[in-house]
Copies of this chain bind each other. A is one copy, B any other.
Amino acid sequence: MTDRTTAPAGRGRGRRPAEEVRADVLEAVGALILSEGLADLTFERVAREAGVSKTTLYKWWPSKGALALDGYFHAVEETLAFDDTGDIRADLLSQLLAFTRLMTQTPAGRALLELIGESQTDAELAVAYRQLYSSQRRRLAGDRLLKARRQGQIRSDVDVQIVVDQLWGAVYHRLLIPDEPVTEDFARGLVANLLDGIVPASR
């Protein structure tokens, strides 16, 4: 067992606090997925780039999928953060535009779709996907929507989790089954349709 009093903190080969090591790993993984996607993401490479042992990685993340999803969640947390300008329409649209750009213009989009694809026949990955990524994204979107509901900007009888499926879920649908393109007009149409309804106002 290492005597921690002899190991200098901070730089060097001393033992760093676990949370710091963990953050370094997640940062390395996130950067890799955003720039290259999943293909070259390996435990070996992450261990080398983050300066940790493979044993440590496997202790925290049992599979490449879990490692990828945890790193990805943290990498996009800021990009996908919700504004709170007080106007739910504007805030939803700017978040959706950031989300569609991320999914269509970085290698991360393809990576995420492949993880969703693989999770259809890999039960362990499906659990990791929900625990490390989608349930947290759902919660963040739900929080912003619930606040708007409390402020009277969304009808009080609306189930905000259904809204999540009708905005972000609709984008995932078009990405996973690309019969139609994911464009800025698409994002604007999603928000307009759902906020204003598609039946004429007079009805």
| A interface residue numbers (CB < 8 A to B) | 89, 113-114, 116-121, 126, 129-130, 134-135, 138, 152-155, 158-159, 161-163, 165-166, 168-174, 176-180, 185-186, 189-190, 193-200, 203
A89 to B200, CA, bound (A): 13
Shortest beta-carbon distance, A99 to chain B, in Å? 13
A155 CB contact (under 8 Å) in B120, B163, B177, B200: B200
Query: How many copies of this chain are found per oligomer?
Result: 2
Closest 3 CB pairs of A and B: A169-B173, A117-B120, A197-B197
Q: Which of B176, B180, B196 contacts A161 (CB 8 A)?
A: B180
Per the bound structure, the CA–CA distance linking A153 and B135 in Å amounts to 36
- Of the residues B118, B162, B199, contact of A186 by C-beta under 8 Å: B162
Nearest neighbor of A117 in chain B, beta-carbon distance: B120
- A168 to B180: give the CA distance in the assembly, Å: 14
- CB pair A189–B170 under 8 Å, yes or no, is no
Instruction: Tell me the smallest distance from the CB of A16 to a CB of chain B, in Å.
Output: 34
Min distance, Cβ A91 to any Cβ of chain B, angstroms:
13
* With A165-B174, A177-B130, A189-B159 as contacts: A195 and B198 at CB distance below 8 Å: yes
Contact B117 A155 (CB under 8 A): no
